[in-house]
Structure 1
């Protein structure tokens, strides 16, 4: 086996995390898979790179040598990739938009608006379940913008290299079949779903852990989870096989309804990210504005979310007061839509569905 850049990234992740368990989580791998990969790398380099102990892992002398070289090589390669991509994009070429996103109507709405406003500019899309993969592609210059989400106030990936702006923040809703006993409820207590099977799309964020923690606070642990694509998730809900989490702005779909979770125990932030050295400020500002407008359009199509917002506006202050860590949170009342500002939405989360 030849040594590759991905192997150096793996070694650096292990050293930075201080344990194989934490490194596996950061890399989105199972620990046995990471252990097997480390053994292959060690065989290639001719010796043990880490000593495993009671309190984690520690680099051996050979490991220190390899890591010192990796910390020089990896940043240099990242810089080369970014400079090459910027150089390859000819100045007189029509400006385009290379968008990376997890799935959902925000991407479709943004593509529609960009195509309408910039009819001569190519719009290229890349879809992935992994927010980290998308953010890395933007940081390395292979994409222009990342359209992702994070659970609650969790930080987005690549915070040192990318600029992030918050588009909106949603409570997480639950999807149930139209004939489910709780389908007529105005809101549903999470504990009322203790005996249900759940369905969710994959993801590499912390939403799964946050969901498990919310269930534990409600006094139960989910007994079954079907992890699959969005269409299959919806089907499992429609036929009554499972219930699922979704963004509050999930559109009306035959055979199922969406309902708020009482107390809003989970939330999701929509974010747009870009590399400040690769994207002109005016272009970034336009993409953020168009994404917020696309979100506002999606929000108007959800009857249950509109009712939730109306209830909160009538009984108390803005459900999401204050400013978020990446910018001001959007207003939440009907006037926000009329003015073009979006009310707070859930993207996908590994994490519920779109």
Structure 2
């Protein structure tokens, strides 16, 4: 087996994700396939690159040495591809807009607004991913024009150099979703300590999600049981009272689920819009303006979030001047 750039990308993905499971999700492959590929790479190099531990994996001294040489090579290759594609795309991509996004209730309204504002015949495509870091790498590589992502408070994203950004919301509180008949659902605002005995559910493949939640729970002095799963699975467990989970404050109403803010808003994210270097700044301004309008619509449509905005006298309550 000869070592190739794609193998170096695999090693960097494992190091960045901190576990084979998360790296496999980000790379779009199964964990057994990734494990097999890692073994082949290690056999080729003649040594173990990662220590497998219960909580994940971390580079060995040999692994750190290999990674220190691999990253500049990957960055150089990415820059070469970006520059080449940009040269080819000039004059060809003015009728194409490629958007990346993590999950957001504002997304549908944003796309609807863009289709109304963009020139006729422009091809608008959407790429969804739970990992903001993956989307940012795609922007840096020229695969996406913009990416709308969230950054968990206390867990900075791995932003490639040179990506321009605009902040949509500096601090968006994260609410809690629970069964409609949960005892805490009787109150308009919930204390973390009232949820100490509940099973919490979190998706560990969302960048920073588990680390951010763990930090907040530890600060509150509680250590509840935690389930790791995607949020589609979480919903089915939440409605029957088997779990609770953090959620976006813009989450829509459901008859079988209650959405409540946490007292003091200990969980929060920052909402950001990144664009590829060299992209049309006027187009980016339009994208940002329509995203801001769509987010405001989604925020005011969600009753618990609207009440939170009123209590906190948020500027989101007031439409920007035309």
Q: What's the TM-score, normalizing by structure 1? A: 0.75
What is the CA-CA distance between 1:208 and the residue it aligns to? Answer: 0.9
Q: How does 1:1-354 map to 2 (within 5 A)?
A: 1-10=1-10, 24=18, 28-29=22-23, 39-45=39-45, 47-48=46-47, 57-59=60-62, 70=70, 73-89=73-89, 91=91, 94-118=94-118, 119-152=120-153, 154-168=155-169, 169-230=171-232, 232-277=233-278, 279-313=279-313, 332-333=314-315, 336-340=316-320
Runs of 4+ in structure 1 over 3 Å off: 9-14, 25-30, 32-39, 47-52, 55-60, 66-73
Residues 187 and 77 of structure 1: CA distance in aligned 2, closer, same or farther (over 3 Å): same
What is the CA-CA distance between 1:39 and the residue it aligns to? Answer: 4.5
Check whether the contact 1:212–1:222 (CA below 8 A) recurs between aligned residues.
no
Residues 153 and 121 of structure 1: CA distance in aligned 2, closer, same or farther (over 3 Å): farther
Equivalents in 2 of 1:93, 1:265: separation in Å?
43
* Equivalent residues, number: 306
Equivalents in 2 of 1:263, 1:93: separation in Å?
46
What is the CA-CA distance between 1:95 and the residue it aligns to? Answer: 2.7
Equivalents in 1 of 2:296, 2:94: separation in Å?
28
Structure 2 residue aligned with 1:345 = none
Equivalents in 2 of 1:250, 1:280: separation in Å?
32
What is the CA-CA distance between 1:144 and the residue it aligns to? Answer: 0.8
Q: Which runs of 5+ in 2 are unaligned?
A: 25-30, 52-57
Check whether the contact 2:147–2:275 (CA below 8 A) recurs between aligned residues.
yes
SS in 1 for 2:184: coil
Residues 154 and 223 of structure 1: CA distance in aligned 2, closer, same or farther (over 3 Å): closer
Equivalents in 2 of 1:340, 1:290: separation in Å?
12
SS in 2 for 1:305: helix
Q: Which runs of 5+ in 1 are unaligned?
A: 15-19, 314-331, 342-354
Check whether the contact 1:175–1:237 (CA below 8 A) recurs between aligned residues.
yes
Q: What's the TM-score, normalizing by structure 2? A: 0.82
Residues 253 and 71 of structure 1: CA distance in aligned 2, closer, same or farther (over 3 Å): closer
Structure 2 residue aligned with 1:352 = none
Residues 9 and 179 of structure 1: CA distance in aligned 2, closer, same or farther (over 3 Å): same
Equivalents in 2 of 1:76, 1:218: separation in Å?
44
Residues 223 and 125 of structure 1: CA distance in aligned 2, closer, same or farther (over 3 Å): same
SS in 1 for 2:183: coil
Deviations 1:111-145 (A, max 9, x none): 11111101431110111111121111111001111
Larger fraction in helix: 2
What is the CA-CA distance between 1:10 and the residue it aligns to? Answer: 4.9
What is the CA-CA distance between 1:96 and the residue it aligns to? Answer: 2.2
What is the CA-CA distance between 1:104 and the residue it aligns to? Answer: 2.3
SS in 1 for 2:95: coil
Structure 2 residue aligned with 1:319 = none
